[in-house]
Each structure stands twice: as structure tokens, then as C-alpha cells.
């Protein structure tokens, strides 16, 4: 797709990548509204990204490989991360509906070389923790809804670099 997959399209593909599903199961798995799911599925059928056997929607193995290559390209990932960040910021600053499960913290600080080593070691520990989470036995995991997954973002850069990137048009 020319302008990349939207988050709602991506989550439906992720859901179908776990196995064929009826529209009802997709709604349960993703937590999206029924009319939205119906429309996205209609578009994906039209684009031949997915198939329908009269009962369930599914993705061909070949199509899935093509989609995965597209979905994991750096441009596509960039758009996904931007969309996730936008949502995270919007949800966090939505004063009407503060969610306990959403946190967002940004810190600007000066960092000595010793402290930088400590920080990098903390980041490394975080990454190791996520690798371990992925490796945990998947007993009953398949039954968990995709929409119940948690999203955690982290990053580190120089203030100057980010400001200079902002200046670029």
C-alpha cells in the first residue's frame, strides 16, 4: 500500500496471522468496533490481502510473507511507531478519560560518562527483560486478546540532534 498500513489495518493482519477468524472473533481479539472491522475487512478483501471462505477470514501463507516483508520495512515501522506515539500522547493528555494503565514520561538531563554507562546498562536490562517475556512458555497465551497487549516505548538521543531534526522541512 502506497502510504503504508494504518494501525487498525496492521492489528487486523496481526490477528489473522494467528489463524483464520470470524468477524466476531476479530472484534473480540482486537477490541475494535464492529463497523470499523467490517469496513477494514472489506477493503482488505478488495485489495486481495485476505481471503474469506464463507465463514472465516484468513491470510494465505504467501500473502502473509509478502505482507510481513512490507509491514516490517523501515518506512512502515516508522509510520507505525509515529502512529503509536501519537495515540499514546493523545490518550495521556485526554483529560476527560485519564487511564491508570497509561503513563508517559519524558526527561531532559545532562549525563556524565559514568552515568551514561549506568543508564545504558538499565536499558540493556530492560531489553533482556522483554526478550525473556517473549521466551516464556506460551501456555494459554494464544487465547489472550491482541488488544490486551501492553505497549512500552523507550528511546534516548541528544536534545540538539532532536531539535535539528525538527528544524528540517
Partner 1 sequence: MSLQKIVLEQFVKTYHQPTLREISSLTGIQITRVFRLMNGMTMKLDEYEIFRNLLDKNSDEFESSLQKLLHFGHYLPKGLSDDLKSLTERKLRLLNYNTANFDPKVLS
Sites of contact with partner 1 (CB under 8 A): 1-4, 6, 8, 35-36, 39-40, 42-43, 45-47, 79, 96, 168-169
Q: What's the CA gap between 8 and 134, in Å, rounded?
A: 23
Residue 129: CB minimum distance to partner 1, A:
33
Nearer to partner 1, 86 or 116 (CB): 86
Residue 65: CB minimum distance to partner 1, A:
23
C-alpha cell of residue 134: 517473549
CB 75 within 8 A of CB 4: yes
Nearer to partner 1, 46 or 109 (CB): 46
- Give the H or E element holding residue 123: helix 113-135
Nearer to partner 1, 36 or 89 (CB): 36
Listed residue (81, 152, 156, 159) closest to 121, CA to CA: 156
Nearer to partner 1, 40 or 59 (CB): 40
Residue 12 CA, distance from chain mean position: 11
Residue whose C-alpha cell reads 490518550 in the numeric block: 91
Residue 39: CB minimum distance to partner 1, A:
4
Residue 165: CB minimum distance to partner 1, A:
11
C-alpha cell of residue 99: 487511564
Amino acid at each position: 500500500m502506497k502510504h503504508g498500513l494504518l494501525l487498525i489495518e496492521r492489528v487486523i493482519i496481526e490477528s489473522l496471522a494467528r489463524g483464520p477468524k470470524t468477524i466476531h472473533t476479530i472484534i473480540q481479539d482486537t477490541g475494535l468496533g464492529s463497523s470499523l472491522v467490517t469496513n477494514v475487512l472489506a477493503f482488505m478483501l478488495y485489495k486481495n490481502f485476505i481471503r474469506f471462505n464463507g465463514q472465516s477470514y484468513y491470510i494465505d501463507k504467501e500473502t502473509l510473507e509478502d505482507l510481513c516483508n512490507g509491514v516490517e520495512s523501515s518506512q512502515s515501522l516508522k509510520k507505525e511507531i509515529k502512529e503509536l506515539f501519537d495515540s499514546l500522547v493523545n490518550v495521556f493528555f485526554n483529560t476527560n478519560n485519564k487511564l491508570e494503565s497509561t503513563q508517559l514520561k519524558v526527561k531532559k538531563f545532562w549525563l556524565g560518562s559514568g552515568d551514561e554507562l549506568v543508564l545504558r546498562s538499565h536499558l540493556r536490562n530492560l531489553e533482556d527483560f522483554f526478550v525473556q517475556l517473549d521466551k516464556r512458555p506460551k501456555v494459554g497465551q494464544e487465547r489472550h486478546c491482541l488488544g490486551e497487549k501492553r505497549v512500552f516505548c523507550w528511546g534516548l538521543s541528544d536534545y540538539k540532534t532532536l531539535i535539528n531534526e525538527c528544524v528540517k522541512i
